[in-house]
Structure 1
Amino acid sequence: MSSMFVKSAILLVSCLLVSCSKSEAPQRVVGAGSSMPNPIIQTWIKEFNRSHPDVSLEYQSVGSGEGIRRFLAGEVDFASSSAALTDQEIAQVERGADLIPISAGLIVLAYHLPGFGDGIKLPRSVYPEVFLGKPVKWNDPRIQAVNPELDLPNADIQPVVRRGTSGTTYAFTNHLSAISQQWRESGLGVARLIDWPNAMAVHYNPGSAQRVKVSENALGYMEYSIARYANLNVAALENQAGEYVLPSRASGEASLASTPMSLNEHMRIFIADPTGSDNYPIIAFSWLLTYHQYHDPVKLDAISDLIHWGLGEGQQQAEQIGFIPLPEPMIKKSKQVLDKLVLIEQSH
């Protein structure tokens, strides 16, 4: 057995305590939530299940909003969100709720513009207008001015947005609110659910990628690894320093490095508009949501084991997929929270 999961013996003992045997089906441990970290979580789960035949761990990519709903209702063993739980939501969980950052991802603006490749520059004065539903053409003078070498088409940009509650939407609108007075005055706000005007609305990050892929002149926001997997072109966005930056590990790490990692007691942190000339401007964290108390030792050990490995060797896999490894101080604090999860006896 590989060294990646150090609690295998504990899990085995736990299985014996609950009368697991080779003849019985593996015990299910079910999570649900954000589509943004889904590629990472599925990769980690694949490694976990290979090493733990007595446990069947699964994750359903249903969006942050639905994942939070199921978590608050006690319908899942853990959840994931790209928008942190609020104090009010945490207070609803009788067993207690812990938020554990597991990854950072870049939110990109991917487009479908035949004849053009990666890196069309989009000014921060322009792309908020697109998602406000205002008519903006690809050859808008403000876009053309920063792309003088391109003969951009006289065609309306078609925004693609998320339908339903979404952590990616929360992070994206948090950024738009930080950079655009028009957005702040629009009343649309910063939220997981937005009443988007004049846009094509779809479910989940992969849905956004697919809609952009089949819609000429489309521009949609989504997590970087999803856009990369779909072979979509992505824009170079103007950052706070006035530089146009493409998404990459280097530009994402620069954004994290320029931001103080001041985590509050619930491990919440948001980076709406990072500073620095080499920073990519839209970056968001994803959290695994766990209960503070578990009644089942198998579930507690499985979830703890999965996350411990994900915060260690799993960070390298996250990087390979297109996510940004967490800073070491954040990993340390995440492990401290994880180590405080407790097993309690079920009351009868």
Structure 2
Amino acid sequence: MVRGVRSVVPILLSFALLTGCKSPKQTGAPAADPRILTINGAGASFPNPIYSKWFAEYGRLHPGVRINYQPIGSGGGIRQVSQGIVDFGASDDPMTDTQLQQSSHPLLHIPTVLGAVVPVYNLPGISAEVRFSPEVLAGIYLGTITFWDDQKIIADNPGIKFPHEEILPVYRSDGSGTTFIFTDYLTKVSSAWAQQVGNSTSVKWPVGIGQKGNEGVAGMVRQAPYAFGYVELVYALQNHMTFGLVRNGAGQWIKATPAAVTAAAEAQADTIPADFRVSLANAGGTASYPICSFTWLLVPQQSADATKGRQLHDFLLWMISEGEQEAAAMGYAPLPRPVAERLKNTVASIR
């Protein structure tokens, strides 16, 4: 996500105050308002747009509560909440058993919304939506499919005349939940990918060029003719990017939409475990979009501050009943009703 640049002016003003350039009564920064309860969180950038909206709305409804969130990435969120640096974390990659055991306190995985990762491309002169099979997606990043007029691409896209131009694969150079979702999918659909690369927030890419953030990948794809990359659906929609269809496990060509992502979760609703740590990659069902995932808040079951624990409990209940209704309009998929109902029991245990 785009990061702001902090001005040095506040630092200079604070120095002036401390050195006596102002009135002696002004000897430091204003004390925090004791009437405001501040809850701090950090983690995934993938859900940051909707989290920002939710936290702002909840703050307006509850003037005595302020929820601050820093989109530092899934890995950072896991680390900081595990160490007790923040009151809650967020991740697009569920924590492993080892990570949960190493945490200084028990953590719950709270699914919030679902998101998708989409293939974006730059094909001058071609306006049609391009179809990408699992074999092609894996082949592009394995380096076994190198030209746009490869027979596997042509076979899936009758009527489109592809140029004999080399494909430039673009990937995320930074650790990313988006990369985890994409590589988790590739690991499920390609045995070669599973053996050679695997799934993680950061992998050793066989080919291509790395760029930081969704904005870096998108910028390179826009600038470089015949480039190919992957970005979050929300980012693609907000920036009016062209993205392709993907063949799902049922053999259907699906374009990513909130409804198609919800269908993937509904197709696996009966197999979602009690702790909600599950992969939705390549889910069954004819209407399911195959490259998607839950994103989770990581919440202490017993907060060090009981007042913050109660407010997190109340916020999560508000999220389930009210916030979920805003998901689709922002490009995310809301929780399926059976998942939301189960989640209420988990939230009830938070103190």
1:43-192 alignment runs, 5 A limit: 43-117=53-127, 119-186=129-196, 188-192=197-201
In the other structure, the counterpart of 2:5 is none
Unaligned runs of 5+ in 1: 1-20, 343-348
**Aligned counterparts of 2:219 and 2:72: Cα–Cα separation in 1:** 16
Q: Partner amino acid for 1:165? A: G
1:98 shift after superposition: 0.7
Cα distance change, pair 53–271 in 1 and its aligned pair in 2 (3 A): same
Single out whichever of 321-330 and 164-173 deviates more from structure 2: 164-173
For residue 286 of structure 1, give the secondary structure of its aligned residue in structure 2: strand
Question: 1: distance between equivalents of 2:37 and 2:349?
Answer: 23
Asked if the contact 2:109/2:298 (under 8 Å) is kept, the reply is yes
Question: What amino acid is aligned across from residue 315 of structure 2 in structure 1?
Answer: L
Alignment of 1:1-348 (within 5 A): 24=34, 26-117=36-127, 119-186=129-196, 188-342=197-351
Do the aligned partners of residues 117 and 334 (structure 1) sit closer, same or farther apart at CA in structure 2, a change above 3 Å counting?
farther
CA distances 1:215-252 after superposition (whole Å, capped 9, x unpaired): 33222222211111111111111122222211113322
Q: Structure 1 pair 136/72, CA: closer, same or farther in 2 (3 Å)?
A: same
Aligned residues of 2:84 and 2:104 also touching (Cα < 8 A): no
Q: Helix, strand or coil for the counterpart of 1:126?
A: helix
Alpha-carbon distance change, 135 to 147 in structure 1, aligned in 2, over 3 angstroms = closer
**RMSD of Structure 2 on Structure 1 (CA):** 2.1
In structure 2, distance between residues paired with 1:309 and 1:212: 39
Q: What TM-score, normalized to structure 2?
A: 0.85
Letter in 2 for 1:94: S
How far did residue 135 of structure 1 move?
4.9
Amino acid of the structure 1 residue aligned with 2:148: W
Match of 2:21 in 1: none
Structure 2 unaligned spans of 5+:
1-30
Determine if contact 1:124/1:238 at 8 Å carries over to the other structure: yes
Q: Which amino acid aligns with 2:271?
A: S
Assess, with a 3 A threshold, how the Cα gap between structure 1 residues 23 and 43 changes in structure 2: closer, same or farther: closer
Taking CA–CA contacts closer than 8 Å with sequence separation of 6 or more, which of the two structures ends up with the larger relative contact order?
Answer: 1
Given that 2:131 and 2:253 are in contact with CA atoms closer than 8 Å, whether structure 1 keeps it comes out as yes
The answer to whether the 8 A contact 1:111-1:218 is kept is yes
Mark the structure with the bigger radius of gyration: 2
Instruction: List per-residue Cα deviations over 1:190-219 (Å, max 9, x = no partner).
Output: 222201132222333344333333333222
Instruction: Give the fraction of aligned pairs with identical amino acids, expressed as a percent.
Output: 32
Give the Cα–Cα distance (whole angstroms) in 2 for the partners of residues 178 and 22 of structure 1. 49
Q: Is the 8 A contact 2:41 2:69 kept in 1?
A: yes
**What TM-score comes out, normalization by structure 1 length?**
0.85
Contact 1:112/1:232, CA 8 A, preserved across alignment? no
Name 1:18's counterpart in structure 2. Answer: none
Q: Structure 1 residue 24: deviation in Å?
A: 4.5
3-state secondary structure, aligned to 1:267: coil
Residues 109-148 of structure 1, C-alpha deviation per residue, up to 9 Å, x if partnerless? 1222233336211122111011224452122121122222
